[in-house]
Amino acid sequence: MKLKGMKFLILILLLTSSITGFAQSVNEEKLTTTVKEFHQALVQKNTISINQQTDKALSYGHSNGWVETKANMIKDLETGYISYQQIKEDSISIIINGDMANVRFLSDVTATMKGTRNSFRLRVLEVWVKKSKRWVLFARQAVKIQ
């Protein structure tokens, strides 16, 4: 009887860890999709989508040290102060901890700022927070790859 109980307990533990691993994988896939959709919203200047995908306390750090708030980011896109022609992600790595996640990736970005077009190879860290079953961007920082 005791051996059957142990086998049952081991089976339950294995099933639970499999389900937890599957849920983590699904969360990572959903967040990866959200990250890519956000970057495309930047390229398309879709400020409605950007507004929904970002936290009100957003801190958006660029590789040159410039930091935008959410309001600044939306205004700068609307006025054409900055525009993105391309944002490509590579080597996305996600670590989820409860309702927070850090997303790291390499990125090729082509953007025009104040009329000057530039291309950058960046190493990016984004911090995403889950609110009401949706991931929203809380913070971002990028550095140029030398």
pLDDT in tens, 35-48: 999 999 999 999 99
Q: What is the average pLDDT score of the chain? A: 89
pLDDT at 9 over 80: no
Query: For residue 21, what pLDDT band results from cuts at 50, 70 and 90?
Result: very low
Full set of structural domains in the chain with CATH: 2-144 (3.10.450.50)
Query: For residue 7, what pLDDT band results from cuts at 50, 70 and 90?
Result: confident
What is the per-residue burial (b if ≥16 Cβ within 10 Å, else e) of 39-60? bebbeeebeeebeebbeeebeb
Give the pLDDT score at 18: 52
